[in-house]
Structure 1
């Protein structure tokens, strides 16, 4: 398992599948409430900015900014809390999530972030499950992306203690993507709405060409949670770590990740051979938690830290 560079301030798309592609996230009111509650609680706990999310029946997509370099703790906590509630609800005794690491894709520029936001929102339409994003019964940030409203999510009944550490309510919000702060709320709404409508139209054209039909909302709600897709999962799938439409920016980002891996590998080699004062590169996560010396970003004149 390769180490990941965890740098505060980066924007990611996080994806994770259910074990063996089972439909354990098949939507109903309780599953949606539990997902939104655990997502919002974990984001609040670890200072994560949420930009968009969608749960399919057997996987999730979340767009976020890791403000304090806490992404591994965020995903670990959120996925643990969600599975602790849903496993007994489903009568499921095995692991809910795939044993693979969640896939974290670094989104380099605002255009890449917006492209992945549309991808996330349109996922149910692209999978031929519903005609429009608004028809999807699973968790989706579409309404919050369009209107910018906060939602209060109550703690799911049945698992968490009434007087336990998990709060009775949490606030779920979808923040504006970085790079689009100059737009008014109405302009941002129109940009998201136009992108979604264009994507829905493209998918309708594709289905007509391929003579395919959508499954439909009612059929989705009848999904057996222990079922699996009949299609064969692709083998040896590529797992990207960077999304950048600009070739130069993509190469630069990949160079940063490659340089981190090389520096980390060398530092770890020296550490194992007894040189405990070796400095690990910026973005080292686990070794920092274990007390190893790690590089920190320099302080700029503005008082903020500079991150690659």
Structure 2
């Protein structure tokens, strides 16, 4: 529902125990709206289910990374699919009991939860279909070739994850173990503090340089436009991709090139 309202195209996703990953396209530059609505609905439902009232999500900003090439997109989709295995939870992505896509073009049907929404009279459909589409950067390529390349990447990630688990002397938790984990239990491994939060993911060095140059240009144009706006110039044009100034303040934006 959140994706439909914000015009988001979903390509792959996985819902983990305390976070989620997705590969998506934002053709209307409304990703913040999608994240806000999705996170609000999930937080309201889960807090009602768990009988809690505290913040459900971490206060830090969501990690949003632009993928530049077809290879980068495929690699990230494979990362999403194999995330439960890479985390040492299940031996194969198909075993994950949570919501997950395991191939391109999947369709999922979600049923409205009994908790929270029905009690509060939410005007939501009983069932909602989630259609995962092929990413635009891959649509001109042969479907069988793309599927084969994705299967190779997924198999590589699974193989590496299993090898890592064996080397550590541990075993996979398994689907039943994942289902019975306490929602109040904290992760045993601490997240590194002040780690880098990349904005773009590019495997090719030349493409990475070009992507970073575009990012710097966007930020420079945004700063200039914001300075003009603050000085009272309402004709200031913000670069394509601007969200807050466009949506909340009605600022003009350059069209997509």
Give TM-score scaled by structure 2 length.
0.91
Distance 1:199 1:276 in 2: 51
Distance 1:137 1:288 in 2: 40
SS at match of 1:74: helix
Q: Say yes or no: does 1:113 pair with 2:73.
A: yes
| Equivalent residues of 1:282, 1:294 under 8 A apart | no
Structure with larger RCO (C-alpha < 8 A, sep 6+):
1
1:237 to 191, 195, 212: 195
2:172 to 211, 214, 236: 214
Distance 1:159 1:208 in 2: 42
Q: Match of 1:158?
A: 115
Q: Match of 1:91?
A: 51
1:110 shift after superposition: 0.9
| Pair 290,59 (structure 1): closer, same or farther in 2 beyond 3 Å | closer
| Equivalent residues of 1:125, 1:200 under 8 A apart | yes
| Equivalent residues of 2:246, 2:253 under 8 A apart | no
SS at match of 1:51: strand
1:183 shift after superposition: 5.2
Is there any run of 5+ residues in structure 2 with no aligned partner, and where? Answer: none
Q: Match of 2:19?
A: 59
Distance 2:248 2:139 in 1: 38
Is there any run of 5+ residues in structure 1 with no aligned partner, and where? Answer: 1-40, 298-304
| Pair 278,91 (structure 1): closer, same or farther in 2 beyond 3 Å | same
Give TM-score scaled by structure 1 length.
0.77
1:197 shift after superposition: 2.1
1:217 shift after superposition: 2.0
**Alpha-carbon displacement from aligned partner over 1:199-256 (angstroms, at most 9, x marks no partner):** 2112222233333322222221111101111222201110000011111111111111
| Pair 246,186 (structure 1): closer, same or farther in 2 beyond 3 Å | closer
Q: Match of 2:34?
A: 74
Distance 2:228 2:143 in 1: 52
Distance 1:151 1:132 in 2: 19
Distance 1:128 1:72 in 2: 31
SS at match of 2:110: strand
1:185 shift after superposition: 5.0
Correspondence 1:1-308 to 2 at 5 A: 41-142=1-102, 145=103, 148-161=105-118, 164-182=122-140, 186-297=144-255, 306=257
Query: In the comparison of the two structures, how many residue pairs are matched?
Result: 256
Distance 1:83 1:69 in 2: 24
